[in-house]
Structure 1
Amino acid sequence: MEIVGRGFLARHLAPHFGARYPDVTVIAAGVSTAASTDFAAFDREAELVADVLRRCRKQRRTAVFLSTASSGVYGAEGSPGTEDGPVFPRTVYGRHKLALERVCALSGAPYLILRLTHLVGAGQQPDQLLPALTRGVLSGAVAVQPGAYRDLLDVRHVAPTLDVLLRRGIRNDVLNIASGRPIAVPDIVDGIESRMDVRAERRTVPRPPERTVVDTAKLRRLVPEFAAHDFGTGYLDDLLDRYLSAFVQDAVVFSG
């Protein structure tokens, strides 16, 4: 497998696949922060995706594009959270990713689009959700939107899921990769604080409640193995127990 990119997700995918799937290119580069409004970065990603798709079309390679299942895509009224339902992206990031999905579909290359939720794992960018919340708690003050929820998924689940999809010949399709169980952001902060034995000042972000449910029925139908993951009430604890120490170390390095 060819993996374009050297960031967080690329580093987690490469060891799993190695030389398998030599006719597949995964585009694991580009804008990964849902709050981004960096239009220059959007342009660079668009150019990269176009270049990869042209090459994949010429060589008949399958291009795997990593899109988003964030609230920027599914959070607007009338967006049911399903891959084939109406989608009204409410952020520039969401509109950018959906535009690139359309480019993939029209490129003439075989493709697979994965709409990824908020991934959690060691080595994340500092501006992503859990590293940012951890850094806020460490600093003594953290911004919290009381009615906000986020769908979290261990990055370790992504590579095996993609593996099954490729092995079963799923192509020219769009799939949500998510837990389907959004978690309240204040609960995430509670979990971080309890493990660090600190209590940070909470600065309330005055925004409307935001709870987006990503539909995973299609994923569970195509990859029944995914249903074996327990996304119940203990899932947040599992994530924090596994990764919080890495987030704390990264926060110290970032702040220093």
Structure 2
Amino acid sequence: MEIIGRGFIARHLGSMEHRHPHVVALASGVSQVDGVSADDYQREADLVYETIRRCQEKDQLLLYFSTASAGMYDATRGCRGREDDPVFPGNAHGRNKLLLETVIRASGVRHLVIRLSHAFGVHQSSHQLMPALLGAVSSRKVRIHRGSSRDIIHVSDAMTIVDRLLTAGVDGEVVNVASGVTVPPEAIIEHMSERLQLPILEKHIVEGDASVCLVSLDKLRRLVPEIDELGFGDTYYKRAIDRYVAEVEALDAAEGSTAQAAAGSSSAAPERPSGGTGATGRHHVS
């Protein structure tokens, strides 16, 4: 697999980099909703156009990551979260993704379009949903849009599904990759608070402008029935959050140990005899 991009999804696609040699994964583009310029959207479109041309020349399959967020599937707009239904994107991000999906399908290129819900895991940008909520819980001050809800999925589970879709030879399809369960932010925050043992001290409720992300897994289950092994259901979000928090804590501990070792190495450096490269090497290995 050729992976285009250096962000969160591209990084996790690396686990299948040596499989699916006929696939070009386009995991680069606009990932935020606010503060995006027309130039940003144009750069993403140009990259899609160029990747289509390359895939057509080499008869490769274009794996494109679209969105299954509330920007695409908002139940308050009458959306059922199905790939074959009309959708009415509620923001510029959703409209842009739908437009690029249309370009890909109309081009005739071999393709698999993944409408991905809120995937989360370590090494994710702080503006994304779950890192932002984790940061808010850690500060013990949260802001909640009453009536909103989101579909969340651990990135490792999302990558497992993508791998199985490619292994099954799915081609020419738009497929939702999500947990299939919509979760209110209050429930996510409550479980994070319990997991971190950090009671929320300040809660600000925002009324109005709520969106409900509803994603159907009917098509995905027909294509890859074994997704039920991942345990999606009403309590999935709790297990996924527990896994995420444990991964964040492990990463923080590892980075802290590395920083401590580097500080120790720096403070000890003047005491080493000049030319002591062997001692320095042993220190770094340990």
Contact between 1:57 and 1:107, CA under 8 Å: does it hold in 2? no
CA offset at residue 80 of structure 1? Answer: 1.9
More displaced 10-residue stretch of structure 1: 192-201 or 111-120: 192-201
Equivalent residue number for residue 128 of structure 1: 128
Equivalent residue number for residue 42 of structure 1: 41
Equivalent residue number for residue 73 of structure 2: 74
Equivalent residue number for residue 141 of structure 2: 141
Contact between 2:181 and 2:234, CA under 8 Å: does it hold in 1? no
TM-score, reference length from structure 1: 0.91
Equivalent residue number for residue 242 of structure 1: 243
Contact between 2:33 and 2:92, CA under 8 Å: does it hold in 1? no
Contact between 1:29 and 1:45, CA under 8 Å: does it hold in 2? yes
Pair 1:200 & 2:225 matched: no
Equivalent residue number for residue 213 of structure 2: 212
Pair 1:114 & 2:111 matched: no
Is there any run of 5+ residues in structure 2 with no aligned partner, and where? 256-286
CA offset at residue 247 of structure 1? Answer: 4.7
SS of residue paired to 1:73: coil
Quick one: structure 1 residues 245 and 158, their matched pair in 2 at CA, closer, same or farther if it must change by over 3 Å? closer
CA offset at residue 4 of structure 1? Answer: 0.5
Equivalent residue number for residue 229 of structure 1: 230
Contact between 2:73 and 2:215, CA under 8 Å: does it hold in 1? yes
Quick one: structure 1 residues 245 and 163, their matched pair in 2 at CA, closer, same or farther if it must change by over 3 Å? closer
Render the CA deviation track for 1:105-159: whole Å, top value 9, x for unaligned.
1223111100000002111110011110111222332211121111011111222
Alpha-carbon distance in 2 for matches of 1:207, 1:189: 19
| Count of paired positions | 250
Equivalent residue number for residue 83 of structure 1: 83
Alpha-carbon distance in 2 for matches of 1:207, 1:196: 29
TM-score, reference length from structure 2: 0.82
SS of residue paired to 1:151: strand
Alpha-carbon distance in 1 for matches of 2:216, 2:59: 31
More displaced 10-residue stretch of structure 1: 59-68 or 37-46: 37-46
Alpha-carbon distance in 2 for matches of 1:45, 1:219: 27
- In terms of Rg, which structure is larger? 2
Equivalent residue number for residue 22 of structure 2: 23
CA offset at residue 91 of structure 1? Answer: 0.6
Contact between 2:30 and 2:44, CA under 8 Å: does it hold in 1? yes
Equivalent residue number for residue 97 of structure 1: 97
SS of residue paired to 2:147: coil
Contact between 1:152 and 1:178, CA under 8 Å: does it hold in 2? yes
Is there any run of 5+ residues in structure 1 with no aligned partner, and where? none
SS of residue paired to 2:234: coil
More displaced 10-residue stretch of structure 1: 235-244 or 118-127: 235-244
